[in-house]
Structure 1
Amino acid sequence: MKHFIAKFGLVAAGGAIQGLGMGLFLFPNYIPSGGAGGIAVLINYWFNINIGLALWLVNVSMLFFGVKVLGKRFAVWTVMGITITSISLHFFEQGFTPDRNLFFDIVAGSVFLGTGIGILMRQGVSNGGIGVVALIISTKRNILPGRPLFVINICIFLVTGIIIDWKIILLALISQWISTKMVDQVCQMTFLQTYTLNWRKK
């Protein structure tokens, strides 16, 4: 029971912090938070499907893929993390004020985003979308998840920029670099080792 309570608390914290970074700093500036958003934009562009539905389809397909590799418990906790993130995002979205410093928003939003994702991934929980693939790679190869997450997201951003528009892509690349560095920093921390994955950097 103690293990469950501790994990629930950390998953809730990770989801809430991730939602804070996206809702209060990144999304109001139209900065994508990850590769799943880029794929959703491409689906919307090619097939004229609502971007919200496209994002949901991407997350669900990745989640099914993750279940086959990481198990059903992974899916349950990931759904919980995604739900808390969505609620947190909606809550913090209301607090955006115009005419803020863009550089500050990128840095602050990326730090919060990476911290939230790192907390989730330490619990073996994905933040949804491409995070599922990054978590599978990091688990199978016993490496920190930030590197595969960064590489995959960058490839998707570049494809999206080439096909649709280069605007915001540079900001997205900066955000991804900062946030994935934070993911690795959080995954390397030694606090609460009883309740976290024992990541080892090769």
Structure 2
Amino acid sequence: MKGHLKNFTLLTVSTLIMAVGIYFFKFANNFTFGGITGFAVLVAKFTPLSASDFSFIANMLLLIIGLFVLGKKFAAQTSYSSILLSVTLSGLERIYPMSHPLTNEPLLELIFAIVLPAIGSAILFNIGASSGGTDVIAMILKKYTSVDIGKGLLASDILFTIAGFFVFDIKTGLYSLLGLTMRSTLIDSLIESLNRSKYFHVVCSEPEPICEFIKNDLKRGATIVLAQGAFTGDDKYIILTVLSPNEAIKLRNFIKAHTTGAFLLISNTSEIIGKGFHSV
């Protein structure tokens, strides 16, 4: 129950963060990068529909198509975020209509248009969810074709972004192109930061006190490997464990205070699969 509540909270907060970044900074400045919401900016220029309303219609249509093509499991993972994002964008348009950007600093607004949706997307991807949109198209193509989905979606994003040069002006197009370039890199970096852990190699002669501290105080597991010193030929033990950054500080301080002659190798890692981390 606690895990479901945490996931629901993360879904809600991340989707609302995305909505704020898209509505107040992306739509208001006509930035055309980023899937359905980027396309919505172009549609709003030529039709009576606003970008928010077009996003709502497009996301709902894609959600219905996804339900029939991809099944109920897809709907359970995607529908809440997709509906919440679409409804929030349409609601913001009616509660706080915007006829111009919030500030006269387009570069500052571009940063928020990139960072806020990127944070929201990173949280969603990290818990195995999505906000719908072009993700639905990607999932359908993946099911029925051998098309390289990543390249296909990147190509559509590039087309929408380039269209911004002709539909609006060169400055808006350049900002959109910059946003497209930075967006995917930032999302990858944020996901890595959310999953970052510390991987320990501890080489020592007496592993018991260190392992007891890991098990009893940190509530983590460890693996002991018997080794031999290349220079002295003495028997050594290598303790392997993965900890959160806060736990890593505690272990490092414990070893420093209670163990002499230990050799530590500590590295950053973000791909941990197993008990206590991500399930297989």
Relative to the length of structure 2, the TM-score reads 0.52
Which is richer in helix? 1
Q: Is 1:87 matched up with 2:88?
A: yes
Q: 1:182 to 1:150 in 2, by over 3 A?
A: farther
Specify the code of the residue in structure 1 equivalent to 2:110: I
The match for 2:180 is 176
Q: CA RMSD in A?
A: 4.2
The offset of 1:12, in angstroms, is 1.0
Which is richer in strand? 2
Q: Choose 1 or 2 for highest CA Rg.
A: 2
The match for 1:190 is 195
The offset of 1:175, in angstroms, is 1.6
Gaps of 5+ in 1: none
Percent identity (aligned): 22
| Cα pair 1:35 1:157 within 8 Å, conserved | no
Relative to the length of structure 1, the TM-score reads 0.68
| Cα pair 1:74 1:125 within 8 Å, conserved | no
The offset of 1:127, in angstroms, is 1.9
Specify the code of the residue in structure 2 equivalent to 1:190: N
- For 2:277 and 2:140, the matched residues in 1 are separated by 19
Q: 1:73 to 1:161 in 2, by over 3 A?
A: farther
- For 1:68 and 1:13, the matched residues in 2 are separated by 28
Specify the code of the residue in structure 1 equivalent to 2:108: F
| Cα pair 2:62 2:133 within 8 Å, conserved | yes
The match for 2:12 is 12
- For 2:24 and 2:55, the matched residues in 1 are separated by 20
Q: 1:78-125 deviations in whole A, cap 9, x for unaligned?
A: 332134334378299679974442111101220111111121223332
Specify the code of the residue in structure 1 equivalent to 2:88: I
- For 1:165 and 1:61, the matched residues in 2 are separated by 27
Q: How does 1:12-51 map to 2 (within 5 A)?
A: 12-32=12-32, 34-40=34-40, 48=47, 50-51=49-50
Specify the code of the residue in structure 2 equivalent to 1:60: M
- Structure number with the bigger relative contact order (C-alpha 8 A, sep ≥ 6) is 1
Q: 1:155 to 1:68 in 2, by over 3 A?
A: farther
Specify the code of the residue in structure 2 equivalent to 1:111: V
- For 2:97 and 2:48, the matched residues in 1 are separated by 26
Q: Is 1:121 matched up with 2:125?
A: yes
Gaps of 5+ in 2: 197-271
How many residue pairs get aligned? The number is 193
Q: How does 1:105-184 map to 2 (within 5 A)?
A: 105-134=109-138, 149-158=153-162, 164-165=167-168, 167=170, 168-184=172-188
Helix, strand or coil for the counterpart of 2:111?
helix
Q: 1:196 to 1:78 in 2, by over 3 A?
A: farther
Q: 1:80 to 1:44 in 2, by over 3 A?
A: same
| Cα pair 1:31 1:172 within 8 Å, conserved | yes
